[in-house]
Structures are given as structure tokens and as C-alpha cells.
Amino acid sequence: MIIVTGGAGFIGSNLCLGLNKRGYDDILVVDNLTNGIKYKNMLACQIRDYLDKESFLLKLSQGFFRAQTIEAIFHLGACSATTEWNGKYMMENNYEYSKVLFHYCQQHKIPFIYASSAAVYGGETNFKESLEFEAPLNVYGYSKFQFDQYVRHYQALTDSQVVGLRYFNVYGPREAHKGSMASVAFHFNQQLKAQQKVCLFVGTDGYANGQQRRDFVYVSDVVDVNLWFFDNPTTFGIYNVGTGRSQTFNDVAQAVIAYHQYGEIEYIPFPAHLKGYYQSFTEANLEKLRAVGCHQRFKSVEEGVGLYLEWLNN
């Protein structure tokens, strides 16, 4: 059995499909379906069972599962809202929950592959997996940063696989339920169809209008990296998962316009509540990922957005 927490979410549901393509259907999805619309993400997935995230922890503590039958735990469940400032909730949901799963996997020698985030880097411009470059700008980023620190502390003491994957700006199918936290590619597509234009922020942090740069990574590439680590259980550590090539928000907008063959860009004021808490530049350093032998080819914005909009609009 493979356990996927957050399996009804964006990356989690795509990972379940990736496992299905390999012939795996003995999958336990763990999630929180308070936002019931997420059920749609699982419709195409073949899974054995579903459990609410609280029920799962309870059953885990009661010894309900035979640990020797668990092939791996992919831990993707988290609150990913960078605008959420309830730190108590964020740390309980993202940090304490992760610690419980981590120790269970350590105790039973179960591979543990979990979602970290590029948010740990904050306003830094060197995106290398090292403490001196980590300075999150919000409590979401801090929750991921602190768990990475926790894992680093124990990692030297374990021989059971633990891998943290720092996702950059992931976009692609099955993200609509995220609302305002869905990718700009999703929002640009919706805006263009509704009003024949896409809205980008004016320049900030020294960048011209729409020229802020992010490392936009297509979700199928993210799934492939997860599966690479699953295939390589002797590989440990924390790794960036991005293309290694930053592109501008203008690039994403132009890719959406090119797909639809109409539309224009409008630049809107930068939101006051994001000032000081916004990453105007991200670009994954892939040296560590490549050094362990993962040579995944990552799609450009133009490639990925084209594939995504084909799925989204058909």
C-alpha cells in the first residue's frame, strides 16, 4: 500500500494518477474534504480507500495499519495559503502533523517523501538548499522551514529514506479548488475568457510591470521527480523542484493569450497586504538534484501552459 496525504489536492491527485499509470491502485488517500469540490480531483484516480486526515492520525496511533505493508508515504497534505496568518493553525496543521508521520516512518523504516516549499527562501536571491539562504516571508513558509530544520536534525541519525521536495510555482490540472491560491496560469485563463484581458501587478522590488520572475514548474514534472525518488530509496535529503529557469509573469500571460489567440494585458496596483511578503524572484538551483542523478527535463512556460490550457478548456 502507498499512502498519499493531500491526495485529493492539486499535486496529490496528480501523483495518484502517476502511480496509477505505473499500475499502482493500492493507494490510501488522506485528506480533508471540508472543501467538498476537491472530490472532483479524485474521479479519475484508482484508489483503495480514503480517510479524513484526523481519522488517519488516530488509526495510526492505534496501530490500525500493518506498517510492513506500507511501501511509502507521500506527505503532500498542508495548508498552502501564503496569506494565512493564523500561526497556531499553520504550525499544528503543517508542522506537528508532519512530525507525527515522520516519526512513524522512522520507527517502521518506511520511505517518507514530503512537500517542502520554495517559500522557505523568502526574499533571498540564492535558492540553494542551505540554511544561510532560508528566510521565509510568511508563516506558511516558516512552517515548511521549521519542518525542514527538524528533518535535518534527525537525518544524520537515520537509515530510512526521508526526502523533502521544495516546490517552486507549480501549475497544471486539478488546481481549481485552490481559489485565490491557484496558479496565475489558471487565473489568467479565467480572466481572458471573462473579460478579454489578463491582469498583472505593476512593477515592484525594482521590476518593471509584469516583469517579476518566478520559477514556474508544470505539475507532471513534479510528479515525475516524486516517482524518481520513490525509485531511488537510498537517496536522502532536501531538494529543489523547479525548472531552474525563472520566467516573467508577462511570459505566462503571453502564453495564455497565444493559446486563445486574443486578449491584452492590463497592469493593476500591487496589493498593499502583499508588500514585504511577496517573492518577486524565484529560480530553483538544481545542482543538488542533478548531483544525485535526477535528470528530469522540465517544461518551459510556453510548453506547460499550452498543455495545461488544452486540458483546462476541453
Give me the pLDDT at residue 6, please: 98
Residue tagged active-site, from 140, 239, 259, 278: 140
Residue-range domain boundaries for the chain? 2-168+219-242+284-291, 171-213+246-282+301-308
**Stretches in the chain below the pLDDT threshold 70:** none
Phi/psi for 222 (5° steps) reads -60, -45
d(CA 120, CA 164): 12
- Say how many residues make up the chain: 314
Cell (9 digits) for 230? 520513490
CATH fold of 171-213+246-282+301-308 reads UDP-galactose 4-epimerase; domain 1 (3.90.25)
Residue tagged active-site, from 109, 178, 197, 288: 178
- Cβ(57)–Cβ(30) below 8 Å: no
Give me the pLDDT at residue 275, please: 83
Give me the pLDDT at residue 123, please: 86
Verify whether residue 267 is a known catalytic residue.
no
d(CA 254, CA 252): 5
d(CA 209, CA 207): 7
d(CA 279, CA 274): 9
- Cβ(273)–Cβ(83) below 8 Å: yes
pLDDT in tens, 208-255: 999 999 999 999 999 999 999 999 999 999 999 999 999 999 999 999
Verify whether residue 171 is a known catalytic residue.
no
- Cβ(200)–Cβ(272) below 8 Å: no
Q: Where do the DSSP E strands lie in 57-191?
A: 72-75, 112-117, 162-167, 169-171
d(CA 263, CA 193): 9
CATH fold of 2-168+219-242+284-291 reads Rossmann fold (3.40.50)
- Cβ(21)–Cβ(43) below 8 Å: no
